[in-house]
Amino acid sequence: MLQSTRIVPMLILAATALAPAARAEKTISRSLLYDKMRGMWLGQLIGNNAGRATEGQYSGSSPNPAPSVPWVLKQVWDGDDDTDIEYLALHILEATALDPNNAELAQQWLDHVTAAGIYIANKQAWCLLANGLIPPDTGSRRYNRHWYAIDSQITTESIGALCPALPQAAVDLTGRFARISNEGYPVHAAQFYAALYANAFFESDLLTLIAGALEAVPASSRTRAVIADCIDWYIDDFDDFDLNWRATRAKLYDKYVGANSFGRYYNWIESTVNTGATVLALLYGNGNFKLTVQIAVLAGWDCDCNPATAGGLIGIITGYSGLPSDLTDPAVTGDVYKNVYRPGLPDPGLTVPQYDTITNIAARMTALAEQNILNHAGYADGPQEDPIWHIPDQPPLLAEPDLPDPNGPMGLVAAALAAGISVTPNAAVAQYVQTQDRRNLHRIMDGVTTDAFNGVRPYYSYVSDPSQRPDQDFYQLSLSRPVKFTSVTFHEGDVVWSLINTCNAADTLKGGFFTDLSVEVLRDGRFITPADVNASEPLDPLKMYQSITFEFTPTVGDAVRVTGTAGGSEAFTTILELEATGEVDTGLYVASVRLNDNQPQRSQIGTVEIVFNRDVNISRADVELSGLVNTGPIEITESMFDYNPAARTVTLTFADGLPDDLYALDLICEHITDPNQTPLLDDDTIALDGYYTIRFHRLFGDADGSGCVDLNDMAILSSRWLAEPAETGLDANKDGTLDMSDYTRLMGNYHAILAP
């Protein structure tokens, strides 16, 4: 059944009564408004059907070589994802008096959208709605893995048509609908199209229209960049008196798909390149409906959606009455619109298919546009059967607040570089390809923590050969001298899907995420876990672009990293940025600890050396030593203790060695100071307790320092049998030869385990 035209009879009387004394700048009759609505809807349908046969086929460096494409005209026009989501939007705006909130948008989708006829970002949004999320979460980068795609910009143009000469209203209202399925620069493309449609009621020059609508796009948006490029390329081409849209299409490909794209192109249904192709068609079509649609189809990529958008815009400019007569001839072009996929529309009691008419849709849109004009201080006068609508001047367009688009390091990395400290990014899979975001590890310290606007792609650790994949994935910042770290933020990237139109939870993700994650600081040549680590949020493989901050006790080191197990069937991770905070001035800290002159063996402990980064005030009373299992407290005597100020080193010497035990060597931080009375930094692996604690063990027979006496130690003994012990520590009786006496002593500890 057809839904009746929804024009409220008292609307015009009320509008006339509220008319201000001064006339508005722009005026339009109801009949012309209706004619333009009808031209828009049919223009979209004609453009959409012209490109369906080659959708996605010409996405490479060369466009469709054909000089033209056949027109596909129908008596019954079937809706697809170009118009049927707009058909739903029309219903939503009628049901909510042009002011839907996010909960209402969610419920309307749940009522009228099924799995049929929706794809890519819309499909993910529908899945997320079913799981209880509402917009804008359903379109956000965190949850919708196809947030970058074209969906919102091909399903919201008609909202701009409901805002004649009201571009800000079009931009704002479109933003609500666009964020059902997308975030960032695809939303900006939708808002740009909406502003185009809103302004097209009173402006026919395409270059003027495009430049004006560009003001709806934030400065740092990838959408603004591609539109501005297309304008510049067109003007350059125009100036040489030889317009060639194919040559400009080649420039679009090179910068946004090919060699100069930095790998930021996703696939043929992404937002950016399709925005460029649509703008290109509009500029070179120069208001000619047929030429505009033909170029939009031949340019390729999503070449049914782009000509639908372009055709709808020209349909507003010319109106239905100005469309080519051979395309509107009733003998070949019907008025019936078939709703194929959206149950309950227009009749809430029926499923699909249902039928409406283009003329009825145009009348419904006209009624909504009139109400919208009223809502924005407009008014009507003239004959009630065909009133003249007056639309006040509008203030300049305002885009949503811009996001910073940094081009260099921030935080501790920036401070370190300013202090002359070099910083190098490293990773388990490290590549430094400057022309590919995905393979340019320098990107993890360039200050870019979000790609919502600029379209930067996250670095990833993908390795095609499974045998070459690391057991643990990590991302690291290495500095040429130590600094004090206080936190690290891991700005995660995206996940990589297996099946493009499958809901996240049902898909087997290829990778892009960690299954576990920890932070480590490189200290004295080894990575340690700093004390008191707290993560801002847990890992979630079904969330993307998480920013997880690890805060911890200030810890000095010359590298920091996040490390964990890569998830997904192909075991890799992604990252936008590794952001560190802290101080370049480290204060006083323990720079190094050496046992037995850095020998690995733990059979004998003769010396412990503690090296500080600065000269210190220290005495033996500031050092405490305890055996934790067997020995108990051990007094540090004068003969044991020596401090060398030139080397900034305390040496503890145990002439008779230490017995087998686990040991804790504690430095009392507040008692140990540098010449400026700065106390020793308590940055060990134990949460702030006032002591810098050094843990070690002594276990006779542990020649390799593993904490266990085993076959490896036996092998070391055998390799030196009846010879000098060298640095094995296995000479139990100190007679200078490894023999049966030492073997017996080792066997007494065989399979003993003692490790800190």
The CATH number of 590-697 is 2.60.40.1220
User: What are the sequence ranges of the domains in the chain?
Assistant: 11-391, 411-583, 590-697, 699-756
**Contact between residue 697 and residue 707 where contact means Cβ atoms under 8 Å apart:** yes
- Report the distance separating Cα 5 and Cα 268, nearest Å: 38
- Report the distance separating Cα 738 and Cα 277, nearest Å: 81
pLDDT tens per residue, range 718-747: 999 999 999 999 999 999 999 999 999 999
- Angle among Cα 548, 223, 305 to the nearest 5 degrees reads 110
3-state secondary structure of 550: strand
- Identify any residues that bridge with 548 across adjacent strands, giving them in sequence order: 490
Residue whose C-alpha is closest to residue 486's, from 587, 561, 580, 589: 580
* 20 pLDDT more than 60: no
**Contact between residue 103 and residue 123 where contact means Cβ atoms under 8 Å apart:** no
Q: Give the residue-averaged pLDDT of 508-515.
A: 96
pLDDT tier at 81, thresholds 50, 70, 90? confident
- Report the distance separating Cα 239 and Cα 330, nearest Å: 41
Sheet holding 354-357, edge to edge: 76-78, 336-339, 354-357
Instruction: Determine which helix (DSSP H) or strand (DSSP E) holds 363, and give its type and residue range.
Output: helix 358-375
- Taking each helix axis from N to C terminus, what angle separates 206-213 and 271-285, rounded to the nearest 10 degrees? 150
* 62 pLDDT more than 90: yes
Could you tell me where the DSSP H helices lie in 421-472? Answer: none
- Identify the pLDDT of residue 756: 66
* 71 pLDDT more than 90: yes
Tell me whether domains 11-391 and 590-697 share a fold.
Answer: no
Tokens of 226: 């591609």
- Report the distance separating Cα 387 and Cα 17, nearest Å: 13
Better-predicted residue by pLDDT, 368 or 2:
368
Tokens of 631: 């020995």
Residue 354 to residues 46, 340, 357, 719: CA-CA distances in angstroms? 20, 7, 10, 88
Q: Which CATH architecture has domain 11-391?
A: Orthogonal Bundle (1.10)
- Identify the pLDDT of residue 697: 95
pLDDT tier at 242, thresholds 50, 70, 90? confident
- Report the distance separating Cα 669 and Cα 742, nearest Å: 40
* 152 pLDDT more than 60: yes
pLDDT tier at 219, thresholds 50, 70, 90? very high
The sign of the torsion formed by the CA atoms of 34, 35, 39, 42 equals: positive
CB contact set of 8 (below 8 Å; sequence gap of 6+) = 367, 371
**Contact between residue 297 and residue 58 where contact means Cβ atoms under 8 Å apart:** no
- Report the distance separating Cα 752 and Cα 87, nearest Å: 76
- Report the distance separating Cα 132 and Cα 115, nearest Å: 16
- Identify any residues that bridge with 434 across adjacent strands, giving them in sequence order: none
* 37 pLDDT more than 60: yes
pLDDT tier at 94, thresholds 50, 70, 90? very high
CB contact set of 726 (below 8 Å; sequence gap of 6+) = 720
**Percent of the chain predicted with pLDDT > 90:** 94
- Identify the pLDDT of residue 25: 87
> 736 phi and psi, to 5 degrees?
85, 0
Tokens of 628: 């934790």
pLDDT tens per residue, range 362-380: 999 999 999 999 999 999 9
The sign of the torsion formed by the CA atoms of 380, 382, 386, 390 equals: negative
Residue 711, burial from CB neighbour count under 10 angstroms (0-12, 13-18, 19+): exposed
pLDDT tens per residue, range 377-390: 999 999 999 999 99
Q: Give the residue-averaged pLDDT of 93-107.
A: 98
pLDDT tier at 542, thresholds 50, 70, 90? confident
Place of tokens 């934030």: 218
CA dihedral 76, 82, 83, 86 (to 10 degrees): 170
Place of tokens 């060699």: 259
**Contact between residue 162 and residue 34 where contact means Cβ atoms under 8 Å apart:** no
Residue whose C-alpha is closest to residue 47's, from 419, 296, 288: 296
* 24 pLDDT more than 90: no
Q: Which residues of 273-286 are buried (b: 16+ CB within 10 A; e: fewer)?
A: bbbbbbbbbbbbbe
**Contact between residue 599 and residue 456 where contact means Cβ atoms under 8 Å apart:** no
- Identify the pLDDT of residue 10: 38
Tokens of 755: 């490790």
pLDDT tens per residue, range 601-639: 999 999 999 999 999 999 999 999 999 999 999 999 999
- Identify the pLDDT of residue 541: 83
pLDDT tens per residue, range 182-212: 999 999 999 999 999 999 999 999 999 999 9
Q: Which CATH architecture has domain 699-756?
A: Orthogonal Bundle (1.10)
- Identify the pLDDT of residue 19: 43
Q: Give the residue-averaged pLDDT of 278-300.
A: 98
- Report the distance separating Cα 398 and Cα 217, nearest Å: 8
* 432 pLDDT more than 80: yes
Q: Give the residue-averaged pLDDT of 669-678.
A: 97
Position 78, amino acid: D
Better-predicted residue by pLDDT, 4 or 20:
20
* DSSP string for residues in 673-719: B-TT-PBBP--SSS-SSSEEEEEEEE-TT-TT-SSB-SHHHHHHHHH
- Angle among Cα 398, 402, 403 to the nearest 5 degrees reads 165
The CATH number of 411-583 is 2.60.120.260
3-state secondary structure of 349: coil
